[in-house]
């Protein structure tokens, strides 16, 4: 029997994926530069010395420039590694390390695995999303890795999802496992949607 919630999520993800595929290389480059500037300002605003981020795929808003620049400035950046049990391991970002295609085609950096609880020590989480709505509810890509991570953290730092401007929407379909975010980072702005606990 079809689940209307799953169907609506699947349809929205397909639409968003198609929109991302239609972007030109020039538009992607502009977006990546904007994301880097917004993330740099966000990290500086929080005074974060340790953050989690991810290596963007070609279709995603580019995070790789930010990761490299943050590491150069001495910020500790943890990158996710997908596990078969649905959890995330973490490695410390090193621009000199090899990056290969991991599970589900997601770029992953080689390095010493720190285990799922390593993310508990970061000051700020920067995560991917398909879309985020005005209440801070995040629509992921349906794998649940980040929802599980956020849901399992005892003391969760601020969480910002990186999306394109058109993916900040009025409402996304949600179910009880979905985790909200503190705010969004787009190529043109950073929006805080929930009170930041310091």
Q: Is residue 186 part of a domain?
A: yes
Q: What domain range is 57 assigned to? A: 4-192
pTM of the model: 0.92
Position 197 in a domain: no
With CA atoms as reference, report the closest residue to 51 among 40, 62, 65, 37.
Answer: 40
- Report the C-alpha gap between 58 and 72 in whole angstroms: 23
Q: pLDDT digit of tens for each residue in the chain (198 aa)?
A: 556 777 788 888 899 999 999 999 999 999 999 999 999 999 999 999 999 999 999 999 999 999 999 999 999 999 999 888 888 999 999 988 888 877 667 778 888 999 999 999 999 999 999 999 999 999 988 778 898 888 888 888 999 999 999 999 999 888 878 889 999 999 999 999 976 654
* Count of Cβ atoms closer than 10 Å to residue 21 Cβ: 9
| Count of the separate structural domains present in the chain | 1
CATH label of the domain that carries residue 53: 3.40.50.10420
């Amino acid at each position: 029997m079809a689940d209307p919630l799953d169907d609506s999520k699947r349809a929205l993800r397909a639409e968003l994926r198609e929109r991302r595929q239609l972007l030109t290389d020039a538009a992607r480059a502009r977006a990546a530069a904007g994301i880097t500037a917004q993330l740099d300002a966000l990290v500086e605003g929080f005074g974060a010395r340790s953050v989690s981020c991810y290596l963007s795929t070609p279709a995603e808003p580019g995070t790789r420039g930010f990761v490299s620049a943050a590491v150069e400035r001495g910020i500790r950046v943890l990158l996710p590694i997908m596990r078969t049990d649905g959890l995330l391991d973490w490695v410390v970002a090193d621009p000199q390390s090899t990056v290969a295609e991991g599970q589900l085609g997601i770029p992953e950096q080689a390095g010493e695995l720190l285990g799922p609880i390593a993310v508990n020590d970061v000051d700020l989480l920067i995560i991917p999303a398909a879309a985020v709505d005005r209440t801070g509810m995040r629509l992921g890509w349906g794998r649940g890795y980040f929802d599980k991570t956020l849901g399992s953290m005892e003391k969760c730092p601020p969480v910002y999802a990186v999306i394109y401007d058109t993916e900040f929407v009025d409402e996304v379909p949600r179910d009880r496992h979905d985790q909200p975010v503190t705010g969004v980072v787009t190529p043109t702005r950073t929006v805080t949607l929930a009170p930041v606990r310091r």
